[in-house]
Each structure stands twice: as structure tokens, then as C-alpha cells.
Amino acid sequence: MESPTRRLKSIVPALVVALLLSACAGATPTPTGAGVSSSPAGPSQTLTTAPVTLRILRYTATKAEEDLHASWIAEFKKDHPNITIEAEVVPFGELSNKIQASVAGGNPPDIFFIDGPNTKTYAYLKILRPLDQYLPAGFKADIVDATLEEQSYQGQLYSMPDRQTAPALFYNKDMLDAIGVKPPTKLADAWTWDEALKVWMQLKAKSPDVWPLEPSRFGAGGAGFYYRDGIFSRSAGDRSAPISSSLYKTFAAISPDGTTVQGYIDSPEAITAGKWFQDLTMVHAVTSKVGIPNAFLDKKAAMTIDHEGILGRMNTQYPNGGFNIGVTPMPYFKKPVVMTGSNASGISARSTHPAEAAAYLNFIYNDANRLRYWDANRNMPARKSLFDKLPAYKDYPLSMLKEQLLTIGAPRPPTPAWAIFDSIINAAIKDISLGAPVETTLHKAAVDVDKELAKYPK
Amino acid sequence: MLTFATPFLWMFGSAFKTQGDIFAHAYPLTWETILPARPTLDNFASVIFGRGIGRNFLNNLIVAAAQVVLTLTVCAMAAYAFARLRFPGRDALFGLVLFAALIPFEATMIPLFQVMGILDLRSTYFALFLPWIANPLGIFLLRQAFLEVPRDYEEAAIIEGASRLQIFWNIVLPMSRPALITLVLLTFLWSWNSYLWPLIVMQDSSKQVIQVAIASFSAPEQLPSWGDIFAASALATVPVLTIFLLLQRYYVRGVAMSGLK
Amino acid sequence: MRRLRDGATIALFLTPAFVGLGLFHFLPIFIALRGSLFDLNLLVPDRETFIGVEHYMTMLSDEEFRRSLLNTVVYTGTKLVIQLPLSFGLALLIETRLRGTTLLRSAIFAPTVTAVAIAAVIWGLMYQPQAGLINSILGAVGIEPQSFLTSKDQALPSIIALGIWQDTGLTVLILLGGLQGIPRDFYEAAQLDGASGWQAVRHLTLPLLRRTILFTVVLTTIFAFKVFAEVKIMTEGGPENSTLMTVYYIYKKAFVFLDLGYAFALAVVLMAILIAIALLQGRILRTRFEY
């Protein structure tokens, strides 16, 4: 019996993707669908001429993206009159449950959209089909490195990357002007976390009613979302250190063979970073212990760790936002790092029409359609060549965000048990921010994750 | 009383605020926390015309109506059998009914989804109400009520030669009106606010219910459209609250409507 | 002859309910019971390995499961002890039909008809540790700001408060329905005997309401035991597992850890515990009211 007290609902959307099209923000003219024809499916794929129905499962998107999805279906239909596409649309936060139910219930859709880091899980469990044989020449080599790593399994691409994000430290320029601070604009000059903390303390002294740093707006709000909060710990490591060193392990967060996280997420460096992170809430009180909706945009916080999506949100939902926004590279302890992330879509291993599904994906991921997609949400593209076609990325601030993605971007720890890792580490991060003992909490999390990793033998 | 009403009023007040105003005055506490300083109907226009939740409302009404009528019928019949008829194994069977009420839905959701697949109901309205009409708690509630009906009336009617069905219809049901209304209200509430099950089982977006539609107001990585969410939620509570307050007038004190003429 | 007719009536009256229960309740339970003996991954439905009672053995040393049970029992117990007397009092008050009770009634039902997700958002704001509404009020009467959901000691009581706020309307409604079922002449007789209001409640209302009260107690227990949404939205079981509830734990095992077999086994044990509690409640309440 499902009662009112039994419902679950995550209003707060979970993961990392997109941004709103500001319909009037001077979008560059888009190529219209009329002249766009679908690219041929990869080599040796002949499409059937018999009537075929493809089922797609995707998440609710912004109005601009919804319109785009509708026109894609119509345009594809023009070229392939025998292929009918039926889309089922669900709230983003429920995408994973819906996929699970359809798989467990034995009727998964042909194409489903997923959260990028889950690609390896679905590949490992043979729910997604490898895509290499369907890809146009050069497509794979063009994908941003971090993205390619995140969405491949055993050398094959398993999902098509929608876009890419990489967070930075955004700030309210007016508030920083008031204390006379000009944050750096170049990656090479990025603050260390301690330098950032000094500024936060100044901000707090200046106006005690404003949070220097917005609590995380990701996940359920407040600490406990690895995409954002894991940056602290991973930046205490160094990806160029020797593989056996604690510094490298702190950056990597999981062993190269994917069997253990002990000594990785609870390394001495990670523990030190964890204590520093805990002090933000428990000692300095420069950020709130719990989420506050819209704190940064409502001018209740001076800075926020977010990705470029915030620029679009400010334009569309706060047209009279009334403050100047600036962005500085992500601070770090030892070596800068930002976590990347994106949505993606793949083809069900059980689909009886993989070639036709691939033809549709190749169509919506071709250059012209990706540029239309960029117009609809302004998130970074996931393919290097597309950056060259977008003049907006030539200048600060977007150039800096692009540089972060391409040079210091790292996918979340690659493992088929990603969602489990995420769930355990998030709870640990949240507990730490609320005062739990750092070392024992991280160590217990590592032991718990290892127990689960053992269930995913290579 | 304020304790109960404040959060609710906050939701209603926020439905009339612009996105920027909703959390801007959340604290410190002023009158603007609750009441919109610049009331606007934009949110309502947006959810009704822009997002078309009228369609979802209609779906909810269809499902709730079917669920209420069928739940009442099925539960009342079973409850009467358990309260008044004698047959071997009655108490054991009733125990089995109660046992069904103890299932945590989250645990049997996947098996139930598989069952709906076998029955091929996964894109129909039936999927939304059929599993819940044999409601163990409903049977329990009505059985308790039927046991309260004084036996003298029934015995008199039996002597008069009335059949079981006549007794059930003319004596037991009218005398249990408060419990029946309670069950109508509970069923309507559960049906109206259901979320997880419709989300999982319904594969046809045009038949989706209101709570799932509200959850869809959040696209990834943009701020949730709080204004729309509160406006739609406020609208969604109106029918339930109205029915709650209206139907209770029909609670009639133990009127003895007897079949004794 | 009558017996034969009764037989047909019984079949007619019970069949619809048992078809529904069989298909949509018992069949899923059976699938879950069977599944609890297998190693099952949620996403690999066609591969199952029989492992007997291994899941149940694992449970014995599962600290998180123990913690979740303890939390659930505390949650349920506290909720019963506070919510039921409160609802009973409110129901009697509304029953007096004095002026203002309609308003009171609306106020009490309003939370019940509000979607839990919305309620969680609003309460989350009210519970803000630094500047939330509740701390503003506490500050006005000179009490230190409390940390509520961010403290491992206060998170569970905070969740309980939200639960009571949401569900009181439901129990008041059921008790009202029961009160309406009491024939008026009983009270008139009591008044003639010169019984005071309190005596009438104790010796008349309570015994006459015993079946409704039993229903309310069982219903509240079952719902409280299956508490889920608030925990998922507000605390995700934290801080430090202080609000980890069993059904949320089952959900996590099935849908995050994909360990469907273990989730089934947990659900089976939860059901067994609920059966024991329901039986106990039935027994206690029956003897209380010399039933």
C-alpha cells in the first residue's frame, strides 16, 4: 500500500549537467534542421526498411532542450519514414530507478539516457551495448579525455556524451570589491584553499549575515556530493606522482585495478584535507551546514563552487539579479583538479534494433546538432573540435573553464560500482562536515566500499 | 494550531511569489516570509498553460474515482464476510489479510512491477489503481465498524426472512456510514498523493499523475522551478482538502436505519 | 438450505478481495520470499544463484541493519506515544463543535494533504540551524539555537516531529469517524446519571471506541515502521546513521547497491517483526478493554 507517508520524491535534481538557454541572451544563429541530414551509421551498418519502433527513455529537460528533442525526432523521421520513435520522459532524479525497473521488469527501452559515471556499471552488467562499431571515423578520438575515460569500459565506448561540465569558484564581484579582493583569472595563478579561506574570513568579518561560501546546491543540498566535495581531498594529491605514492593515491581515489580504495580515500593527505573541510563548518563557520536554496543568487552567499550552468541560471531566473558575477579557477592544496561530469545516452544490450538506434544517436550527436544543443543549454561540449566552432570559448571566463576541463579535469573514480562508491563516500563527507571524527569515518567508508568492490570481479 | 498551519500557509504564499522572492525572505522571519509582497499569478498560468497539468489532474481524478469506488466495494464485501459470516478458517484468513498490510512497498515494488508486466497492464490506468483496491487496512477498518452494528437488528431481519445481501445493504452499510466515509477519504488521499508507484509503472506519459508531473518541474542542473512547484502543489492539495472538509458533514451519528418495518 | 446459500454468499463476498490480494500482495511477497534465498542483482534479472539462508546469516552481523531497526522502533514508539493522545484530544475537541473548530480542523488536515516532498522542503528551511524559523522562535524566548537535522542527537526527534505534524490529521480523521459511530443516547444517559465530562470519556467513549483505537494504533505502527520519504529527502539516514530507518536501508540495498536478494531478506525479517508487534498490540488492547 502506498500511503502519503510512503512517497519518495527528490525535488532537488541530482547530477551534473545543464544550463538553461537564455532565450534572449543573444544566441548565435543556429543551423536549422532543414539542411541537416543524418550522418550515415558507421561502417557496414545497413538499416532495415521494415517498420521499426524505437523506445527512448530520457529525463525532463528545459523547454529549449525539450523542443530540440522534438525536432530531432521529426527530422529523423523525415529521413527514415519506417522508423517510429517513442519517447518516455521522467524526472531526472528518478532516471536511475526507472532504468532499474525497466531492466528488472524485462522490457528496457532501446535507447536510454544515463548519468555519465554509471556507464561502467551498465557496461559491466551487460545492460548497454558497446558502440565502437557504430561510430563515424574519428569520433572517439575527438572526445574530451576525461569524458572518454568516464564513458568507456575495457577500451570500448559505451555511451555517447551529451556535454561536459567542470566546476570553478564563482563569486559575487560586488562583495569582493567591498573588501578589495581581486581573485585570479588564470589557472596558473589559482588560489590554494588556504588563500581562499583567508578571503572567506575577511568576507565574514565584513558582513556576518552573508555566508562567505554557499553550501553545496548539489544532491540534497549541504555537504555530501562527491562531484563537488571530493575536489578538496583529490586536490591534496598529485596525478603526476609515482603510482605507488600516497600523493598519487590521494588523487586517484581508487586503485588502478579497481579493487580497493583503502589507502586512497583515507590516505594521510585525504585525512588532512578532510579535517580542513570539516573546519569550514565546525570551526570557521564560513559555510552553512545545510543546504540553502538559491543562497548565492539571492545574495545570501558571496562565493559558490559550481559549473558554468550558473551563468545561464542567473540570466533566465534572475533577469534582474542585480549583481556582477566573477569566476576564479578552482583552488587546491597540492595540485589543481576538477571533477568532470555529463549525461550520456546508450543503446540497450537487449535492443533488437541496435543499428537503427545507433543511426539515431549518430544523428543527434553529429556536429550540427551538438551546436544546436549547445545553443539550448550553453554547457561545454564534450568533443574538442566543437570548441573550435564556438567563438565564445576564446575569451575569459569561458576560455578559463574550457582550459580547466581540458587540463585539470578528471572523471570520478572509474569503477562499475560507481553508484555504491558515491553513496558511501557522500554519507562520509556529510558526516565529516557535521563533526564526525575524520579518520575513523574515512577509514570505515573505505572498508565498506572495498566490501562492495569485491562483488565486481574483473 | 499555528504549528499545523504555518508550513502549509508558506507553501500557499510561495505559490504567488516570483522565483527570486521565494527563499529571499525565508529568514529572518517577517510577514514577507509567508505572504507575497508582490503577488503574481504567473506560476499558476505557467503550470496550467505552459506545463499542462490539467491533463495530470484529469488522470488523478480518473484513477482516484475508480480506486475509491472499487476499494469500497471490494473491502466492504470482504469485511462483512469476516465480521458476520461463519466459516471454517475465518480467523486464519483474516490474519492473512492483515499480513498483507505489513509489506513495505519499497521492497515488493519490483516484483509487483513484474506482475504488472505479466498481466500486460503497464501503460494503462488499471496499473495505477488495480493493485490497491483489495486494501487490507480497508478491510480491517470496515470489519471493526461492522462488528459495532448491534446484532439485534440483523437477527430481527433474519426472522423476517431477509437475505444476507439485503441485510448487508439495508442495515449494515447504512449503520457504518462514518467508517465508510473514513475509508473514502483515506483512499482518495492515498490515491491522490501517490508518487513512487505511478512513476515506476506508468510508461505512457499522457496518463501520468500530478505528483510525478510536479517532480518533473526540475530539469538537471537548473534551479528547480520553485514557483511552479509550489503553485502546482497548492493546486494539488485543494481537491483533497475540500473533500476532507466536505465529506465529514455526512458523518451521521449512529442513526438506526433498520429494516424493521 | 440456508447453509448452502451462506456458502455462496461467502464465496461471492470474499472472492474479489482475495483475487486482488493474491495477485498484487501475496504473489509479490512470494517472489520476495523466494528471492531472499538467492544471490540476485537488481540489474541482472535472469541470473540467480541459490545460496539458502546466507543473506539471513549476513544480517546477524549487519550493524547498520541493527541500527536501522533500533531507530525505527524508537521512531515508532515515540510517534505512538505522542501522536495518539494528541489526536484523541483534538478529535474530542473538534467533536464539541465549538466555534473555531472548523478552522482547527482545516489546520490539522492541511499537513496531511500536503505532499511529503513539499513538507520536507518547508521543514528543512524551518530547521535551519543558524537562522531557521524554529530557531528564530526559540531565540525570542531565550533558548540557544539548536542544530536539529545536523546533529546526531537531534536529527531523529526532528524527523519524528515532522511525522507527527503530517500524520496527526489522519489519526484525528479516523477517531472522528469512530466518535460519530457512538449513538448519542449513550451520552444522554450518562448525563442523566450525572457523570462529568472526563468520567464520560473514560468509562464511555474509550471502551466504545476500542475497535477504532485498535485500528488507529495498528495503522500508525505499520506506517511509522515503514517510514521512508522524509528520511530519504531530509537526512538520507544521517548524520552518522542516526536517522537510518529499515525501509530506507532496504531501499538503498536494492536500488543503490543493487543487492536485490539481500533487500528481499531484510524485507522478510521486517515483516516478521511487524507481525509480532501487531499480534502483541491486538492482545494488549483486547485485555485492556476486557474484550
Tell me: the pLDDT tens digits for A406-451? 999 999 999 999 999 999 999 999 999 999 999 999 999 999 999 9
Residue in C with minimal Cα distance to A220: C233
CA A36 to chain centre: 29
A154's CB contacts (< 8 A; 6+ apart) are A123
Among residues C291, C284, C290, the alpha carbon closest in space to that of C221 is found at C284
Name which of A3, A8, A90 is nearest B190 (Cβ-Cβ).
Answer: A3
**Is residue A301 helix, strand or coil?**
strand
Going by their DSSP bridges, the two strands A168-172 and A409-410 should be labelled as: unpaired
Between these two residues, A446 and A294, which has the higher pLDDT value? Answer: A446
User: What are the CA-CA distances from residue C173 to residues B172, C87, C184, C188, C214 (Å)?
Assistant: 21, 9, 19, 24, 14
Q: Which pairs from A296-299 meet CB under 8 Å and 24+ separation?
A: A296/A170, A296/A172, A296/A214, A296/A217, A297/A321, A297/B20, A297/B223, A298/B20, A298/B23, A298/B24, A299/A172, A299/A210, A299/A323
A7 pLDDT more than 70: no
Chains that touch C (3 or more CB pairs under 8 A): A, B
Look at chain B and count its residues: 261
Reported as a single tens digit per residue, the pLDDT across A15-38 is 222 222 223 333 333 333 333 334
Residue B123 sits at φ, ψ, to 5 deg, of: -130, 25
Contact C240 A104 (CB under 8 A): no
Reported confidence tier of residue A311, pLDDT bands at 50, 70, 90: confident
Identify the pLDDT of residue A5. Answer: 33
- Decide if pLDDT at C81 tops 80: yes
Is-contact B53 B210, C-beta < 8 A? yes
- Model pLDDT, residue C291: 35
Q: Average pLDDT in the C39-55 region?
A: 91
| CA-based nearest distance C83→chain B, Å | 13
Of C128, C182, C260, the CB nearest to B27: C128
| Strand, coil or helix: B194 | coil
* Cβ-based contacts of B137 with chain A (< 8 Å): 1
- Looking at A65-79, A174-188, A315-329, which range is the least confident one? A315-329
Nearest to A11 among B101, B136, B224 (CB): B224
Q: How confident is the model at residue B28 (pLDDT cuts 50, 70, 90)?
A: low
Rounded Cα–Cα distance for residues C231 and C124 (Å): 12
* pLDDT score, position C287: 61
**pLDDT exceeds 60 at position A12:** no
Give residue B142's pLDDT: 94
Q: At what angle do helices C210-225 and C260-288 cross, to 10 degrees?
A: 160
Give the pLDDT confidence of C88-98 residue by residue, as tens digits: 999 988 887 77
The reply to whether omega before B36 is within 30° of 0 (cis) is no
Q: What is the CA radius of gyration of chain A?
A: 22
pLDDT at B12: 86
Q: Which residue type sits at C57?
A: M
Checking if the pLDDT of A39 tops 70, the result is no
CB-based contacts of B125, cutoff 8 Å, min separation 6: B59, B62, B63, B66, B207
What residues contact A56, with CB distance under 8 A and at least 6 apart?
A85, A86, A87, A88, A109, A110, A111, A112, A113
Cβ contact A61–B220 (<8 Å): yes
B45 touches C: beta carbon within 8 Å: no
Give chain A's count of helices (H) and strands (E): 17, 13
**Of A248-262, A368-382, B52-66, C200-214, minimum mean pLDDT range:** C200-214
pLDDT band (50, 70, 90) for residue B153: confident
A54: its cell numbers: 524505437
Contact A392, A22 (CB under 8 A): no
Which of A7, A17, A293 minimises the CB distance to B193? A7
Q: What is the maximum alpha-carbon separation in chain A?
A: 71
Residue A424: exposure state from Cβ atoms within 10 A (0-12, 13-18, ≥19): buried
Q: Are A223 and A229 in contact (CB under 8 A)?
A: yes
Torsion of CA B84, B88, B91, B92, to 10 degrees: -150
Query: Which neighbouring-strand residues pair with A327?
Result: A170
Residue written as grid cell 556529510: A430
Contact status of A371 with chain B (Cβ, < 8 Å):
no
Q: What is the pLDDT of residue A27?
A: 34
Pairing of strands C38-40, A343-347: unpaired
Whether residue C33 contacts residue C264, with contact meaning beta carbons closer than 8 Å, is answered with yes
Chain C residue nearest residue B109, CA to CA? C28
pLDDT of residue A19: 27
Single-letter amino acid code for the residue at A340: T
Q: Is B159 exposed, middle or buried (0-12, 13-18, 19+ CB in 10 A)?
A: exposed
Rounded mean pLDDT, C194-209: 76
Is the Cβ of A208 closer than 8 Å to some Cβ of chain C? Answer: no
- With 50 as the cut, is the pLDDT of residue C231 above it? yes
Among positive and negative, which fits the CA dihedral A40, A42, A45, A47?
negative
pLDDT above 80 (res B172): yes
CA distance linking residue C127 with residue C133, whole number of Å? 7
Q: Which three cell numbers stand for residue B220?
A: 538537471
Instruction: Taking residues C216-228, report their average pLDDT.
Output: 91
Determine the 3-state secondary structure of A84 from DSSP: strand
pLDDT > 90 fraction of chain A, expressed in percent and rounded: 76
**Segment A66-86 mean pLDDT:** 95
Pairing of strands A160-161, A211-213: unpaired
Q: What are phi and psi of B176, to 5 degrees?
A: -110, 25
Check if the beta carbon of residue A64 is closer than 8 Å to that of residue B165: no
Best probe of the B interface among C113, C186, C219, C285, by most B CBs < 10 A, is: C113
* DSSP element (H, E) containing A409: strand A409-410
Separation of first and last alpha carbons in chain B: 47
Instruction: Name the residue type at position C122.
Output: I
Euclidean distance between CA atoms C68 and C74, whole angstroms: 10
How far apart, in Å, are the Cα atoms of B31 and each of B1, B37, C128? 18, 9, 18
Nearest to A304 by CA among A404, A396, A208, A203: A203
Place of cell 476500542: C210
Q: Residue C48 carries which DSSP code?
A: E
Distance CA B104, CA C226 (A): 6
- Would you say A317 and B21 are in contact if contact means Cβ atoms under 8 Å apart? no
Length of chain C: 291
* A256 near B CB under 8 A: no
Chains that touch A (3 or more CB pairs under 8 A): B, C
Closest chain B residue to the Cα of C263, Cα to Cα: B107
pLDDT at A338: 97
Q: Nearest-CA distance from A245 to chain C in Å?
A: 30
Tell me how far apart the 2 most distant CA atoms of chain C are, in Å.
Answer: 77
Task: Give the three cell numbers for residue A96.
Answer: 536511475
The whole-number pLDDT of residue B260 equals 30
Q: Which residues of C167-197 are buried (b: 16+ CB within 10 A; e: fewer)?
A: bbbbbbbbbbbbbbbbbeeeeeebeeeebee
pLDDT one-digit tens code per residue, B76-86: 999 999 998 88
**Residue C270 to residue B103: CA distance in whole angstroms:** 8
Q: Which positions ≥6 away from B98 have C-beta within 8 Å?
A: B136, B140, C278
The grid cell for B152 is 439485534
Lowest mean pLDDT among A76-85, B65-74, B195-204, B251-260: B251-260
Show the cell assigned to A428. 562520509
Give the number of other CB atoms < 10 A from CB of residue A228: 22
Measure CB to CB from residue B212 to each of A1, A91, A294 and give the nearest one: A91
Residue contact C239–A431, C-beta within 8 A: yes
| A225, A426 contact by CB (below 8 A) | yes
Residues 6+ apart with CB under 8 A from B141: B75, B79, B179, B182, B183, B186, C174, C215
Residue A62, C-alpha cell as written in the block: 528545459
Residue A2 DSSP symbol: -
Length of chain A: 458
Query: B33 and C126 in contact by Cβ < 8 A?
Result: no
Residue with cell 480506486: B67
